[in-house]
Structure 1
């Protein structure tokens, strides 16, 4: 029974982060871009008094795509490939997330469970396999469209993938030499220590050059700006998905955000310590769990106070005839206070009654999942931030970056890393 529950939780968490967050990321991107361009962004659509800062707009857009006519242009020759292309992009992007560990191995009643949606022995190789396969959906979509814009987009995507995949693989090799394993849980656990008792032993500090190369290649992997040459609006309209509409177009968009989620998760896992809490490995969290719960009991009401105060200050309606925002603020404030106090009371009960061995292991996993989510959302924000800050690379500039900068640096880093390991071992 416990095995089924753990598997279900892992699958549900992976599905939520990879696909379920798409409306949230769409809203977040539109709001962040609005802020960076000194405009408001979507903030009006709501259900009754509930607007959630415009988040409801994303769900309205999603419903619009579901009910729009799924039109196939008459000039499409390869209708099967045209139909299956967005499905390939979507599923490959979703499956890329499947082996990301959300926490250290969870031990319940003596049985150890890997905290990922699809536990397997492939580790980072699973990510590379499905991340590379998703490009075939883009190529098929552009080729089968029988359109010059679509064909140019697919050709650009093919040229892009051979530019960064080699550098990405070589950067990962440098990391694997340092970590000594291809399994993602082992890789995260290898980042648990500290340098000089202060600096976490994260990949960004162990392998800074490989980490930078890998992050740049992950940005190219998602086909997002500044590496969105496959769909350059100013040059080839929408590129490979110009001829798509309704949910087939929607699958391409969901696949893009699933790829962004997977890239953010793998960057966190390889470079920023994954689920590891800074300065606290799994054993340290378990040994100090009582102190952590006491700190959370104090912190939760304080956070609720500052959040609700910020909401009242910024969401107060200036229109005397519009009381919906004031009503929403009151509802959300009550919800935040009830949630915060409820969790604090629950933690106090656990602190008094004790958790037991299984309870301690589960609480540790919950804390590590929370740590992973914080890092994940911060990295996702960086993806959005970069998209609306850096201009798109030209076609030739991307080739130059991949072959003349990233690839030589990745090769040099492998040589330096291997030499250091051999000298240290001798």
Structure 2
């Protein structure tokens, strides 16, 4: 099965090579690093030995790494840490927030020769893969070089699980090279066991993202004044919305507006390429709207729009902090949802839909803390929103309840690293 995987990947690589070549010429996309040519500072770090290579795909995984990296340095400060990322935004975010990482690289293309060269250069004592980053050649070559290979914060979504079952023989071959699986939940543990992991290599350590939320220093970079909004306005922030959700949100907002005339909707679609589609929908529904970037440039703001569209990347988490109520998208449609802890950590009550599979544990924690409600249609959205908006509770009290609930689910980083270090002795 490895042979079949490598043949298919090689064909795909050569088909994509012209595109990669152009990106390498016109942008900083790390093409040479992805092909195994690491910069001199990284090669110098590797010469000192005692290196841990952590691989995380993108921004979402990077944000969870703070406690893990700090735990490694606390338990053994002699280790050097190299972090690889698949996406440029993930690498940029990592360089910004992970001060205890010694070096950052783009992840190599998972071709045998490329990965073997990177493994030989880095010579990692430990390879840590985050969540679902099960790259066959990376795992095999690292293990064959003598590395301890582990999956941390491991999860297998229902959709991924179905795909893995189609390639069960390849999965079994790949997972044979992994020494330890630190899985988020019992369900994740059962799934990875079904697709080929040995039971004695599996432990359940919880979700790293819970303690990552306490590790991050959440600050409200935005204020209503900074967004040129009246302090009298109440804000409903709908974040990471997907097609099929905006219609329900707008219908619900229209009904809420009858009860709360000073309620402003801040709408943040998951993908900015959909901004024009959002504007067309708002025009069809006869909502007044403006993009945030244009709103801030206006000289006359006497006419407040009904909808403010967030049209910039990386600001949603802070904008959540201004909300009186938040809706977390990707959950009214079957896409697995997004992280409901992002608004809740500010003491903002949260609504989300029934499709919250990717963050089920976080959703259950918030529901248990009476900080969130799951809704499945417009009527439930409106009913739950009215209860929260009429309550006028102290956000500081709600934020403390959320933090206390999260603290009860911490320990993932320490438990995972202790077990990995045992294997690395």
- Where on the TM-score scale, by shorter chain, does this alignment land: which range? under 0.3
Which has more helix, going by share of residues?
1
Query: Greater RCO between the two (CA within 8 Å, min separation 6)?
Result: 1
The TM-score, its normalising length taken from structure 2, stands at: 0.23
